[in-house]
Amino acid sequence: MGAIIDISRGVRAGVQSAEGAVRAALDRVHKANHSLNALLACDADRALERARALDAARVAGHDPGPLAGVPLALKDNICTPFGITTCGSRILGTFASQYAAHVVERLEFAGAVIIGKTNLDEFAMGSSTENSAFSPTRNPWDLARVAGGSSGGSCAAVAARLVPGALGSDTGGSIRQPASFCGVTGLKPTYGRVSRFGLVAFGSSLDQIGPIAEDAGDVALLLKVIAGHDARDSTSVDVPVPDYLAALDRPLAGLRVGVSEEYFGEGLDSEVRRAVEVAIAELERGGAVVVPVHLPHMKYAIACYYIVATAEASSNLARFDGVHYGHRTENPRDFMDVYAASRGEAFGPEVKRRIMLGTYVLSSGYYDAYYLKALKVRTLIRRDFERAFEQVDVIASPVAPSPAFLVGEKAVDPLAMYLSDVYSVSANLAGIPAVSLPCGFTAAGLPIGMQLMGRMMDEGTLLAAAHQYQLRTDHHRQRPPAFAEL
């Protein structure tokens, strides 16, 4: 098992202190974050105070919880009642939330210690974390390359072992793609499995909070803590949360693994293709049965996604108006200038681009031609997966068409950047769970990820398959050479 389970067991057994675990994480952040820019903020005093309280509770005979003393980081679009929640944007550069997100409540009740907030593409809109108003996050495996996005800060922090685990959000691949680029394990749960209360919305029908860690065991523990119904989120699903850790021992024998040719077509890097094919063969050697499946509408997924997501972004970001909270322009000429200038000054170019695109597809005369048609295509994509899962238990594919690219390489070409999500957006459109797990490296030493997708609410099967694969391989145990001594 990974570092999260090791720390929690050690603290609960009294062989390790929560304060010691937190001090070690804070020391790693102090030594390495300046080169990565993975964390935007680190609240050492609060973290140490909480760790001491957990140690005192254990000494007094109280159970400190399943995540006792585990230092974690949160993507900075998840609201905390302490510190600042910026969403990587200047428009929220000084915003202090008055309440905690549901997942924050769950983590702290379970004994976790939140040490800081991680960098992200502004309002989670991007695939490289280059759209952050506070400079990009660097990839621990090669500082000249991106960490992926939009949860690049969370994935880079886990990959460099600054923290053993983190939370991100995934609207079109924003956990899985950076997990692939950084060589860590990241899960997008089923839509509705984890409450979105306290997550600053990007695409409300697509967003989902999920865990990032070294291996599937740690991800399973984090998911068990944060999953479950929350009445404050109308999309939260009221179904029992299984014991994901107990399900990890499910063998590969008899597992039906679907492989779709739509995920292995033009544009896929040859090294990525080879690594994923070898990983699928490893699943087969473990007893899984590989079954061809067909997802005929996958080719429309990226276009469908960038209509639905931008339309929802246009609506959700209307609240940042220079009046209620956040940045407000100085000396506005009139009321309209308050709105226009505040947004113009504080939103970055990618956020502006998506707001304009989303407003366009929702406008009179274009709603039927674009947005309504995209919703119909989304239904067809979901039905493709439903039919495929009548034949298989999971579907295996690449996470992204390439390994991590250079900082600045795609920044001037939005379409090339959007295609980084070509294999990941369909899971969000369909609402199904998907996990990224390390499956190899390029000749240059860059991580490659394999994606496993499953039926709605069947994260247990995905995590069991990922765990069994990781028992047979050691890709997830590798550490970036520059950070190996932390």
User: Which of 461, 457, 463, 458 shows the shortest CA–CA distance to 237?
Assistant: 457
Is 279 exposed, middle or buried, given 0-12, 13-18 or 19+ CB atoms closer than 10 A? buried
Q: CA geometry: angle at 340 spanning 337 and 341, to 5°?
A: 75
d(CA 348, CA 89): 7
Query: 244 with 27: CB under 8 angstroms?
Result: no
Note the Cα 7 to chain centre separation in Å.
Answer: 22
117 is catalytic: no
150 is catalytic: yes
Amino acid at 199: L
Please state the length of the chain: 486
CA–CA distances in Å: residue 292 to residues 260, 285, 358, 434, 468: 6, 17, 36, 18, 21
* The two three-digit tokens of residue 417, written as one number: 């950047």
d(CA 450, CA 283): 12
d(CA 424, CA 192): 18
d(CA 399, CA 41): 29
* The two three-digit tokens of residue 446, written as one number: 């860059």
Out of 132, 150, 236, 397, the active site residue is 150
Q: Which residues fall within 8 angstroms of residue 172, CB to CB, at 6 or more apart?
A: 203, 206, 305, 309, 421, 424, 425, 428
Out of 174, 397, 402, 420, the active site residue is 174
d(CA 256, CA 443): 31
Question: Cα-flanking dihedrals φ and ψ of residue 421, to 5°?
Answer: -100, 10
Q: Is the dihedral of CA 157, 158, 162, 166 positive or negative?
A: positive
Out of 8, 17, 75, 436, the active site residue is 75
CA–CA distances in Å: residue 279 to residues 282, 374, 397, 466, 468: 5, 33, 10, 11, 12
Amino acid at 219: V
Is 368 exposed, middle or buried, given 0-12, 13-18 or 19+ CB atoms closer than 10 A? exposed
75 is catalytic: yes
CA–CA distances in Å: residue 12 to residues 46, 66, 108, 216: 21, 8, 15, 21
Catalytic residues: 75, 150, 174
